[in-house]
Amino acid sequence: MADGSNGDSFPEIVELNVGGVFYTTSLSTLIKEDNSLLGQIFTGKAKNYLAKDSKGKYFIDRDGVLFRYILDYLRNQKLVLPENFHEKDRLKSEAEHFLLPGMVKCITSQPATNNKTPNGPIVNSVSNSKSTTDPSSKAGVITLGYRGTFAFGRDGLADVKFRKLTRILVSGKVSLCREVFGESLNESRDPDRGSIDRYTSRFFLKHTFMEQAFDLLFENGYELKGCCGTGTNGAGELKPGMDSEENRWQHYNEFIFYRH
């Protein structure tokens, strides 16, 4: 066990809270590169970085989603990114923060094409099969859904911004969703962000403008094939204390888009 800056020893299995995302990894992985920031933290050399959250996990105030690639690099000593990875600049910034020059070099030296190492894995790959705006790209279905209501001002008067959407949900094949929505796609709630050939219903958009989502789908050759929705107050009778005007107008809609 490595000695911590507070006099305690670090366990062989370390639980981390990185920006609100939880990880469990081995101490040997964290200290694999002695000169990295993590190596300094978990050998007790960097004394100002140690903090714990309310559950006793070591807290690191960085991007929790991208941290998975930091751990993967430390484990394997090579960089393997999913197809159509759109956050290379942000990942480079994270690698620089954690003092991983080898990882920074991997990120900056690879062109945005399908490149394979001698051992075969795709390294920092971006699909070059067809343009993302080419309507003849791979066929598939993407479903958008949202739960919404209407905002009301005083005395029941509708506010200027009357349509209220809490979140636009995206379901479909991972590679197609990334192709269409790019940087506006939020994958933070997706439990498995490795494979691109799987399907997911855990994506959502970083904005709440349905028309913006529709425009991106149309630009990528998708057509609206069907839609459905509940009536207002579709959940039935409201509980006491929740019978506000906005709750009475709650509804859920889904839109199915298909590309041939």
- Asked whether residue 53 is assigned to any structural domain, the reply reads yes
- Asked whether residue 48 is assigned to any structural domain, the reply reads yes
Residue 24, pLDDT score: 94
Range 100-106 average pLDDT? 94
Residue 163, pLDDT score: 80
* Tally of domains in the chain: 2
Residue 198 has pLDDT above 50, yes or no: yes
Residue 32 has pLDDT above 90, yes or no: yes
What does the DSSP 8-state code read for residue 181? Answer: H
Of the three residues 109, 132, 162, the one that is the final residue of a domain is 109
Euclidean distance between the first and the last CA atom of the chain, given in angstroms as a whole number: 57
- Inter-residue contact 150 to 246 (CB < 8 Å): yes
| pTM greater than 0.75 | no
Residue 180 has pLDDT above 50, yes or no: yes
246 and 185 together in one domain: yes
157 and 77 together in one domain: no
- Asked whether residue 5 is assigned to any structural domain, the reply reads no
Closest listed residue to residue 84, CA positions, set 193, 188, 170: 193
Supply angle C-alpha 198, 200, 206, rounded to 5: 125
- The dihedral sign for the CA sequence 79, 85, 88, 92: negative
Q: How far apart are CA 154 and CA 17, in angstroms?
A: 43
More confident residue, 118 or 223: 223
Find tokens 């958009």 and name the residue. 205
Q: What is the CATH number of the domain that holds 94?
A: 3.30.710.10
- Asked whether residue 129 is assigned to any structural domain, the reply reads no
Closest listed residue to residue 169, CA positions, set 46, 252, 63: 252
At 118, the pLDDT band (50, 70, 90 cuts) reads very low
- Domain span at residue 230 reads 140-259
Q: How far apart are CA 94 and CA 197, in angstroms?
A: 27
At 4, the pLDDT band (50, 70, 90 cuts) reads low
- Asked whether residue 126 is assigned to any structural domain, the reply reads no
At 25, the pLDDT band (50, 70, 90 cuts) reads very high
Among 5-9, 97-101, 179-183, the range with the most confident prediction by mean pLDDT is: 97-101
- Inter-residue contact 170 to 142 (CB < 8 Å): yes
Range 47-51 average pLDDT? 77
Residue 141 has pLDDT above 60, yes or no: yes
Residue 111 sits at φ, ψ, to 5 deg, of -70, 160
DSSP-derived secondary structure for 89-112: HHHHHHHHHTT-HHHHHHHHHS-S
Q: How far apart are CA 246 and CA 178, in angstroms?
A: 33
Mean pLDDT in the chain? Answer: 81
Whole-angstrom CA distances from 66 to 10, 23, 61, 76, 231 are 24, 12, 12, 16, 39
92 and 157 together in one domain: no
Residue 82, pLDDT score: 79
Of 3-7, 127-131, 135-139, 252-256, the range with the lowest mean pLDDT is 127-131
Neighbours of 189 (CB within 10 A): 10
- Asked whether residue 179 is assigned to any structural domain, the reply reads yes
Token readout for 102 is 């080898």
At 193, the pLDDT band (50, 70, 90 cuts) reads low
- Asked whether residue 130 is assigned to any structural domain, the reply reads no
Residue 124, pLDDT score: 41
Of the three residues 109, 125, 155, the one that is the final residue of a domain is 109
Residue 117 has pLDDT above 70, yes or no: no
243 and 162 together in one domain: yes
Of the three residues 89, 109, 129, the one that is the final residue of a domain is 109
